[in-house]
Amino acid sequence: MRTPDDKRVTLTFYSYPTKRLTMRWKAKVTFEPGSVDDSLATVTLVDGEETPVPRAWFEVAGQRIDIRDGRGELRCGDFVKGKHETPIWVHRKGMLPIPGALTFE
Amino acid sequence: MTDKEWFELVKSETDEGWKLVWERVIAPESRSQRSAELMRRYSITDGDLMGMLYDEMIARRKIDLYRGEGSFEGWLRRYVRGFILNADPNKHGEISIEGAHADAESGDEAMAIPVNDRQVVMREVWDMTHRCFQDLWSSDPERAYIHILKTRFHLSSEEIKDFLDVSSAANVDQIFSRSVKYMREAWPRLERQRVHMG
C-alpha cells in the first residue's frame, strides 16, 4: 500500500449514540502522506465530552489498537489487510464495549 | 362540540375552549416530529406556544380572521406551525409570525406559508445518508472506504488503488459505482423503514 505523497488522510469513526456522553467516543485514524505498509497511522480517541480516553482498546480493521492517554498507533499494512472487517468497537475497562461506524467527517 | 361552538368558547376566553386548544392543537403539534425538532432548536416550550396563541387570538383579535373555512383545529395548528417555522432568531432578530400567516394583511407575500424548513430537511437527508452509508459498510467496509476516499478526500482511482491495495484503478471505479448504486437502492428501503418505525 501507499498513500498519496501530497495528502494526509484522516478517517473518523463515531460511536453509536448512547445516553451518557462519557460512554460515546470518536476515533480518528490519520495516515501521513507517503505512508507504506510499515508506516504507523496515528489513532486518537476521545469520549463524547472530547476528553482523551486514558486507556482502551480500539477495534478496527480486525486489529485491536492499544490506546493510552487518547493515542495509539496502527500499522498501515494491517489496516489494509483488514479492510473487509466490519466490527468497530471501543473497549474500556469497567464500561460496556460500545460499537461505532465510519463517518463522513 | 362543533367547530362553531368551540370557536365561540375560545373567543369568549372560557377555560373549556382553551383546554381544547391545548389538547387538540398545542400538545399534538409540539409532539410532531418537525415541530418538536424546531422547538428544541429554538428553545420554544409548549407553554410559549399557548401564550403566543392566546396573545394573538385574544389580545390582538386575530381570532376574528377565522372565517369558518376548514376546521378550526386545522386553522389554529397552521397558525402554530407558522409561528414555529418562523421562530428562527437568526432570520428575524426576534420571534414573529406575521409573514407566515395566510391571513396577515401584507398582500401576496403573506400567503407564502412555509411548508418545510430547509434545515430540518437537510438534517433528515444527512441522517438518511448516514443510514445508507452504514448499510454500505455492512455490505463491505472496503466499499465504504472507497466511497469516503473518493467523495470526501477526492483521491483519484489510481491513488485509492495504491492506498487500499485494490487490483486496478478500473476495479476501484467499478466498486465505487456499485457503492453509489447500492446506496441509491438502499435509500427508499430505509426511508420506508424509517416511516414505518416513526
Question: Per the structure block, which three cell numbers stand in for B112?
Answer: 407564502
Q: From B146, which residue of chain A is nearest by alpha-carbon distance?
A: A83
- pLDDT at position B120 is 61
Closest chain A residue to B161, measured at CA: A1
Relative to beta strand A40-47, strand A25-31 is antiparallel
- If pLDDT is split at 50, 70 and 90, which confidence band does B110 have? very low
Judge contact between A58 and A42, C-beta under 8 A: no
Q: Which site among B163, B179, B183 would you substitute to test the A interface, given the most A Cβ atoms closer than 10 Å to its Cβ?
A: B163
Residues B24-29, mean pLDDT to the nearest whole number = 88
Which chain B residues are Cβ-neighbours of A11 within 8 angstroms? 145, 148
Q: What total of structural domains would you count in chain A?
A: 1
Q: How far apart are CA B187 and CA A79, in angstroms?
A: 29
Chain A partners of B152 at a C-beta cutoff of 8 Å? 104
* Range in A15-29, A43-57, B8-22, B52-66 with the lowest mean pLDDT: B52-66
Among candidates B145, B148, B163 on the partner chain, residue whose Cβ is nearest the Cβ of A3: B163
**pLDDT value, residue B27:** 87
Residues, chain B, total?
A: 198
- Mind listing the pLDDT tens digit for each residue in B129-188? 777 888 888 889 999 999 999 888 889 999 999 999 999 989 999 999 888 888 888 877
Q: What is the mean pLDDT of residues A58-75?
A: 95
Residue type, A50: E
Asked if pLDDT for residue B119 goes beyond 70, the answer is no
Residue A70 lies in a domain: yes
How many C-beta atoms lie closer than 10 Å to residue A103's C-beta?
16
Chain B CB contacts of A75 under 8 Å are none
Residue with cell 428544541: B40
Please name the amino acid found at residue B162. D
Q: How big is the A-B interface in CB pairs under 8 Å?
A: 56
**B140–A84: do the CB atoms touch at under 8 Å?**
yes
Cβ <8 Å between B145 and A80: no
Q: A1 lies in a domain?
A: no
| A4 within domain boundaries | no
pLDDT > 90: percent of chain A: 71
Query: Residue B153: its chain A contacts at CB < 8 A?
Result: 7, 9
Nearest-Cα distance to chain A for B152, in Å, is 7
Give the pLDDT confidence score for residue A5 in this predicted structure.
Answer: 92
Provide the 10 A C-beta neighbour count for residue A63.
Answer: 17
Name the residue in chain A with its Cα closest to that of B148. A104
Which ranges in chain B belong to alpha helices (H)? 3-11, 15-21, 27-31, 33-42, 46-54, 72-85, 89-92, 118-139, 141-151, 157-164, 169-197
Q: Are A47 and A25 in contact (CB under 8 A)?
A: yes
Name which residue leads in pLDDT, B70 or B126.
B70
pLDDT of res. B133: 83
pLDDT of residue B101: 43
Q: Do A104 and B130 touch (CB under 8 A)?
A: yes
B87 vs B171: CA distance, rounded Å: 50
- Do residues B51 and B18 lie in contact, with contact meaning Cβ atoms separated by under 8 Å? no
Residue of B88, B85, B92, B144 whose CA lies nearest to B114: B85
Whether B130 contacts chain A with CB within 8 A: yes
d(C-alpha B130, C-alpha B145), whole Å: 14
pLDDT one-digit tens code per residue, A7-25: 999 999 998 878 788 888 9
Is A21 part of the contact surface with chain B (CB cutoff 8 Å)? no
Quick check: A7 and B155 CB within 8 A? yes
**Is residue A3 in some structural domain?**
no
pTM of the model: 0.59
| Residues B104, B110 contacting (CB under 8 angstroms) | yes
User: For the purposes of burial, counting CB atoms within 10 Å of the CB of B130, is it exposed (0-12), middle (13-18) or buried (19 or more)?
Assistant: middle
